[in-house]
Amino acid sequence: MQEILQSGRDSNLTGRIRRIAVLYGGRSNEREISIRSGVRVVRSLKNLGYEVVEIDTSDDPYEWIQRLRDVDLVFLALHGENGEDGRIQGLLDILGKKYVSSSAHASFLSFDKYLTYLFLKDAGLKVPDTILIGYPTSFSPFGFPVFLKPRWGGSSIGVVKVNDSKQMLEESKKLILEYGQIIVQRYVGGVEITVSVVEKNEKPFVLPILELVPKREFYDYVAKYTEGMTDLIVPARISKKEEIMVKNIARMIFKLMGCSGLARIDGKIENGCFYVFEVNTIPGLTELSDLPASARALGWDMDELIRNLIGEVGK
């Protein structure tokens, strides 16, 4: 707990980085959370002395792309489609702009839950039993309860816990109509945790593991973003052996998937195994988000977290 990232700078400003654009908002169904994340990032960057260019990507793209011309770095606080799926990262690559986020390839992979499960399973890691469907059904190959999730997306939007075949048919109809493809996933019990990872000297550094105890049926959108709806326990109530296992797996996933900057890995420990639910390459940075909570457990406020993320890119 004593190891703290150091940016290696005597002042707040990294030598070559003075003007930073913060991209947030957008048009996805996670717009509200993205704005909340972006506002906090902007505030911290200003506290640190940077010149900040605020860009809501729901605005005219021809206009805001021009505003990127004179910035030294882009901080991505976009969530959901056109933010975490690799598209904006690809655009920034074409424009030759450095950014705080994983690459286009890593973002594309992690945003697709089904591809992520196949990738991690092939690497020998534990993921819940999962199938992909594109049609309504009342049948679950895993019994009940199971989870239905959109193939793409985050913030637990569209995630439903299904307890019987009747509900399965009703909910799969709704989700297929809205999202096209969904995954059916075996229910995993045990301790729910989230593992935040940042880079230190171009290597993954795991922040204190956070245990999640939602006051709803599961850790859904309301439980995530409503104050008082989830107890965040840090350090998580797991054994030292489990802590070492989880941290090793988190570092492995960060490297295997090609993540950079920051990421958050969600899952549960069941019967001594860590089952991975999701890899998020642009974690929420709101006042209630998990990654800032893990950072606080290490002694960082929001400014210190942002300072370290910028410092790593600016080396």
Domain ranges of the chain: 109-126+188-298, 130-186
How many degrees, rounded to 5, is the angle at CA 266 between CA 265 and CA 269? 120
Mean pLDDT, residues 177-182: 95
Which pLDDT band, with edges at 50, 70 and 90, does 315 fall under? low
Checking if the pLDDT of 181 tops 80, the result is: yes
CATH code of the domain made up of 109-126+188-298 = 3.30.470.20
Q: For position 132, what pLDDT does the model report?
A: 97
**Contact yes or no for 252/120 (Cβ under 8 A):** no
pLDDT at 227: 86
Question: For 251-264, what is each residue's pLDDT tens digit?
Answer: 999 999 999 999 99
Asked if residue 10 has pLDDT above 50, the reply is: no
**How are strands ordered across the β-sheet holding 99-100?**
51-56, 19-24, 73-76, 99-100
pLDDT band at 11 (very low <50, low <70, confident <90, very high): very low
The pLDDT tens digits for 90-122 are: 999 999 999 999 999 999 999 999 999 999 999
Give the confidence band of 6 by pLDDT, cuts at 50, 70, 90: very low
The dotted CATH code for 130-186 is 3.30.1490.20
pTM: 0.91
